Amino acid sequence: MKIIKSGGHRLFEHDTETASTVSNMLFDLEKNGMDAVRKYSRQFDQWDPPSFRLRDEEVKGAISKVSEQGLEDTDYSGRVDAKGEVTLNRLLPGPYNLIVIDTLLEPLGIVLRNTLTFEAVRDSTLRETVEVSTAQDYVADRCRHDGIALSKRPGAVWMIGRVIGPNGAGMDQIRASVSEGSSTQRARNESSPFALIEDQEITSTRTGTDGIYELCQGRFVVGDSVIVTIRDREGVITTFPFALKDSLTVLPMTRVPKRP
């Protein structure tokens, strides 16, 4: 090894004291298990939690704070390719449950789960073909559950959104309505067989207990501009314009402000 500039400390390869300390620590961990873990946690990190095993909500909270790029850079995340295959590398020992996050629905806090569980050994690699619901499947299933007839006309747009309260929880029975956003569109819809609702609304729905609402009647098409209105019993919460660019349009999350 060529030393450019000495840092004034001992090199590990010549440090028998450090090697002895690490060896003793490993022996202690093997012999005394979590009692040794707690001892070294107090000694080196000044951390002495009630339990070293995180609860599910703590894990979810930590993951939610990590950026998409950060998740991409971790050992335990990967993208499902066009063939439905996913590869996870450098796994630690233990049981795992695969969670799939659809990038379309992620802004609404919606996670698509599947039943893939597996047991890994240290430094193993998982290659698996998975079948997961798409965002379109998710919305369609919700619409069918609500008894909404799904539109199949060419270019039709489905919409999904979410309304949350000041505490971040979904709000139930909030009305979401959509009306035409341009004079050209209004003229086109005047001859539509669909009856207009009050204030030129074309379609409306209500949120479920999770705060999610969906519009699947397909009364708008790609390229339309719409006005979305969110209201509760006390009146209008917010109104915003939106351009429909995709067959499945994810509307912005709406947060209801705290009222006096």
The CA distance from 189 to 69, in Å, is 43
Instruction: State the virtual CA torsion across 61, 62, 64, 67 in degrees, nearest 10.
Output: 170
1 occurs within a structural domain: no
56 occurs within a structural domain: no
Among the candidates 89, 112, 129, a domain finishes at: 129
> Alpha carbon of 165 to those of 90, 172, 178, 213, 235: distances in Å?
40, 10, 21, 14, 15
The CA distance from 212 to 170, in Å, is 7
Number of domains in the chain: 3
Tokens of 204: 């409306």
- Whether residue 226 contacts residue 244, with contact meaning beta carbons closer than 8 Å, is answered with yes
What pTM value is reported for the model? 0.57
pLDDT tens, 158-207? Answer: 899 999 998 888 999 999 999 887 555 544 444 444 333 334 557 888 99
In sequence order, the 6+-apart residues with CB closer than 8 A to the CB of 158 are 136, 139, 140, 143, 151, 214, 215, 216, 218, 247, 248, 249
Domain containing 36 equals 16-43
Same domain, 70 and 180: no
Same domain, 107 and 177: no
pLDDT tens, 27-72? Answer: 888 888 888 888 988 888 888 888 877 777 777 777 777 776 666 5
Same domain, 102 and 213: no
* Max intra-chain CA distance, the chain: 88
Q: How many CA atoms lie within 13 A of 199 on its CB side?
A: 11
2 occurs within a structural domain: no
Same domain, 231 and 154: yes
pLDDT tens, 193-252? Answer: 433 333 455 788 899 999 999 988 888 888 888 899 998 878 888 899 999 988 889 999
6 occurs within a structural domain: no
The CA distance from 116 to 196, in Å, is 46
